[in-house]
Structure 1
């Protein structure tokens, strides 16, 4: 059984690959002071970079869980999400309202993808 961990610290790995499946840790925005649109865009750019670093892509996403600080941002986040997900490749997705680790964060995502 092979489990590959990438960008690993004492607390977590940013990427874990097992059985041709890629697991990403939660991704957040680059600029935590930005609005929901910018936070969502930069968060998804990080997802792209991490998936590509192990030979996967957004077309290979299996599932995604989106955490929003407030459901008031649901429509704005979805506008960015809908433009980002390639047509015909939408993963299984859940979106929940959640308390964030940092108060300025508006959105976080966890992704599972195939290699």
Structure 2
């Protein structure tokens, strides 16, 4: 079974994504609340996929992505961003993010994106 790490400073966002993915059949989750925690958790947990917000305290998602990819070039990371953060999304793709999801989330978009990366 796949392990998915959800990283967002808003707990309700992590809960919403987890609910969508649980309904789709994914069951193993690790959660972090900022980029710094994401980097630590990635090294400890070695998740199959990371879904990470761009805008967070302590360390943003772009810097966390950079650190995670430095530690594991094969890391699979999907970034989340609010509308209007196109330049940050482009930075994320350049740094190796495999996809991005725009907030507000649509359940089918999240599930489709994860299914593409981690087929059940």
Short-chain TM bin: 0.3 to 0.5
Using structure 1 for the length normalisation, give the TM-score.
0.36
Q: Quick one: higher RCO (CA 8 Å, sep 6+), 1 or 2?
A: 1
Query: Which of the pair is proportionally richer in strand?
Result: 1
Using structure 2 for the length normalisation, give the TM-score.
0.35
Query: Which of the pair is proportionally richer in helix?
Result: 2
